[in-house]
Amino acid sequence: MLTTLTPSGKRRVVAKGARKIHSRLAGHIELFTHTTLMLAVGRNLHIVTQSSPLDRFERLRTDLERIGAAYYAAELADRLIEEESENRRAFDLLLGVLRALDAGAAVDLTLRAYELHLLDALGYRPQLHECASCGVALTEATDRFSPSAGGALCPQCAGADRRALPMSLPAFKVLRYLQIQPPEIAGEVRVSAATRAEAESLLRAYLRHILERDLRSLAFLDDVRHLHEASRSVGSIDMRYFAQGVDHEHD
Ligand SMILES: [Zn+2]
């Protein structure tokens, strides 16, 4: 059983023998592959009879963090999109994020732009230009984000939701920017690691509110990142040790 996202909606299909090595379908049907499928229309489910891949995103598959990101992008689409509801824009966004990840675009901002645009395409656009509570135009004084209200709050409404999250001006600005720009530009935006982390946690809180739980792939994505960070911090300990050794020689 496969879950596919097509230009005319999400569809569950059956691919018989896709896991057998010698099957005609083996290798053509894999997670996050852009493919043309020929379907035999069944009573309840359609059956895949032929498959010809258009893009397997080969480069993406050599990098664990990008695999995690692609898995997350696919799972987010699966969770947010209702079955059999046509949404061409959602299809284009998923294809676009896989292409960007494959082309080497910066992983985190590419995912943030994807999240913002997918939310918009599916009617969950977080409000970042008008107060999510009273509708007044937001200014640079904005410093609260309320997942339950559906976006940022103006200073007058900030106290209304005690569970609203603090939001720095740089994080507010980068979210607003990514929301109105085409998603392809995300890889070229330069922001600090702290701001990227904050934008991620704000959107994660918002998605958690909509989905009512975390996605499975988030744990994987976090694990991969911790692994990267652990290897970096081992490197910096080595450098410190080296620097101390140098100091000793001066004594
Ligand atoms: Zn307000």
Closest C-alpha among 124, 134, 158 to residue 144? 158
Separation of CA 148 and ligand 1 centre (Å)? 14
- Under the banding of pLDDT at 50, 70 and 90, the label for residue 45 is confident
Task: Output the average pLDDT for the chain.
Answer: 85
- Under the banding of pLDDT at 50, 70 and 90, the label for residue 24 is low
Separation of CA 207 and ligand 1 centre (Å)? 22
Alpha-carbon distance of 35 to 29, in angstroms, equals 8
Question: Does residue 160 lie within any of the structural domains?
Answer: yes
**How many other CB atoms are there within 10 angstroms of residue 114's CB atom?**
25
Question: Does residue 149 lie within any of the structural domains?
Answer: yes
Lowest mean pLDDT among 99-103, 153-157, 183-187, 244-248: 244-248
Question: Does residue 22 lie within any of the structural domains?
Answer: no
Separation of CA 160 and ligand 1 centre (Å)? 9
Question: Does residue 89 lie within any of the structural domains?
Answer: yes
For 129-158, what is each residue's pLDDT tens digit? 999 999 999 999 999 999 999 999 999 999
Separation of CA 132 and ligand 1 centre (Å)? 7
Element (H, E) at 52: strand 46-55
Separation of CA 210 and ligand 1 centre (Å)? 21
Structural domain containing residue 76 = 58-235
Question: Does residue 94 lie within any of the structural domains?
Answer: yes
Separation of CA 114 and ligand 1 centre (Å)? 27
Whether the per-residue pLDDT at 237 is higher than 70: the answer is no
Predicted pLDDT at 229: 73
- Under the banding of pLDDT at 50, 70 and 90, the label for residue 19 is low
Question: Does residue 211 lie within any of the structural domains?
Answer: yes
Separation of CA 157 and ligand 1 centre (Å)? 4
Separation of CA 139 and ligand 1 centre (Å)? 11
Q: What are all long-range contacts of 202-209, with beta carbons under 8 Å and residues at least 24 apart? A: 202/145, 202/165, 202/167, 202/171, 202/175, 203/112, 203/115, 203/116, 203/126, 203/175, 205/145, 205/147, 205/165, 206/119, 206/126, 206/145, 206/147, 207/76, 207/115, 207/119, 208/147, 209/147, 209/148
For 46-84, what is each residue's pLDDT tens digit? 898 888 889 999 999 899 999 999 999 999 999 999 887
Question: Does residue 168 lie within any of the structural domains?
Answer: yes
Is the distance from CB of 134 to CB of 92 less than 8 angstroms?
no
Separation of CA 140 and ligand 1 centre (Å)? 13
Write the CATH number for 140: 1.20.1440.120
Residue that wins the pLDDT comparison between 164 and 31:
164
Residue 77 amino acid letter:
A
Predicted pLDDT at 248: 36
Number of structural domains (the chain) is 1
Question: Does residue 12 lie within any of the structural domains?
Answer: no
What does pTM read for this prediction? 0.84
Separation of CA 144 and ligand 1 centre (Å)? 10
Residue that wins the pLDDT comparison between 163 and 216:
163
